[in-house]
């Protein structure tokens, strides 16, 4: 049912206003994260080798992941502009993982400079795209190009929290939180047994940002089973 949900959602093209909204959110999230990282690097306070909140990932790996994610999005957008449907990560998941792991021993300066350059290139691709065509995201398959800006917002917003550099769920843009919660609630419902299944009362009682944390596996709530959306 979850696969059908994604397929049906992607069949409806976004309006120009929705695409520009998502690009605006993306540029804002990029700016917040890069400003924080740059300040920490300048002050000598970014421990790139230190652990992030993602088990098994240090900060340099996670920053590198965000850079390679930007490269992959730009690749799909550029390909779509030529009428091609390109893989986000040529060579698949193994190549993706190798690219992330290559960042494990990088200095804070090198990692942040890489992310900054990749981000600028992606935003340039956003500015020149006509938002037609599709890219291929493993394991999700083909994804319309107009969906990519919001997916990038999600990637940057949540991993900014995962980096453990002073940005928390409560710092997220309220518009992003509202839009994301609507998507997460639809996805959660699509994964339940047939019929309308409301969210558990304990989930509804959470603040919007805490509910987003529960949906994305970043917040454990006593008495409430994990949402399990990204397993």
Domain map (residue ranges) of the chain:
14-167, 173-231
| Own/partner pairs, 217-223, CB within 8 angstroms, 24+ separation | 218/53, 218/158, 218/161, 218/162, 218/169, 219/169
For the domain spanning 14-167, the CATH number is: 1.20.120.450
pLDDT values of the chain reduced to their tens digit, one per residue, 231 residues = 344 444 455 668 899 999 999 999 999 999 999 999 999 999 999 999 999 999 999 999 999 999 999 999 999 999 999 999 999 988 777 777 777 778 789 999 999 999 999 999 999 999 999 999 999 997 778 999 999 999 999 999 999 999 999 999 999 999 999 999 999 999 998 888 766 678 999 999 999 999 999 999 999 999 999 998 876
Residue 100 confidence (pLDDT) = 78
Cβ–Cβ < 8 Å for 137, 89: no
Say what the pTM is: 0.92
Tokens matching residue 182: 């609507």
Residue 1 confidence (pLDDT) = 36
Tokens matching residue 132: 């037609």
Residue 5 confidence (pLDDT) = 44
Residue 196 confidence (pLDDT) = 66
Residue 194 confidence (pLDDT) = 67
Residue 198 DSSP one-character state: P
Distance CA 171, CA 127 (A): 26
């Amino acid at each position: 049912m979850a696969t059908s949900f994604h397929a049906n959602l992607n069949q409806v093209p976004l309006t120009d206003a929705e695409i520009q909204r998502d690009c605006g959110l993306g540029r804002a999230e990029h700016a917040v994260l890069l400003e924080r990282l740059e300040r920490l690097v300048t002050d000598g306070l970014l421990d790139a080798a230190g652990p992030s909140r993602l088990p098994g990932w240090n900060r340099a790996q996670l920053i590198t992941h965000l850079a390679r994610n930007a490269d992959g999005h730009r690749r799909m957008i550029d390909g779509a502009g030529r009428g091609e449907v390109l893989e986000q990560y040529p060579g698949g998941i193994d190549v993706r993982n190798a690219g992330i792991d290559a960042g494990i021993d990088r200095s804070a300066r090198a990692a942040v400079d890489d992310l900054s350059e990749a981000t600028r290139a992606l935003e340039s691709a956003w500015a020149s795209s006509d938002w037609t065509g599709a890219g291929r995201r493993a394991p999700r398959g083909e994804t319309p190009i107009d969906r990519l800006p919001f997916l990038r917002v999600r990637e940057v917003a949540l991993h900014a929290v995962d980096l453990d550099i002073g940005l928390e769920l409560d710092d997220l843009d309220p518009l992003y939180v509202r839009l994301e919660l609507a998507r997460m609630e639809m996805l959660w419902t699509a994964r339940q047994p047939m019929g309308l299944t409301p969210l558990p009362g304990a989930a509804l009682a959470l603040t919007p940002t805490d509910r987003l944390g529960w949906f994305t596996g970043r917040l454990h709530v006593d008495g409430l089973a994990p949402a399990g959306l990204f397993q």
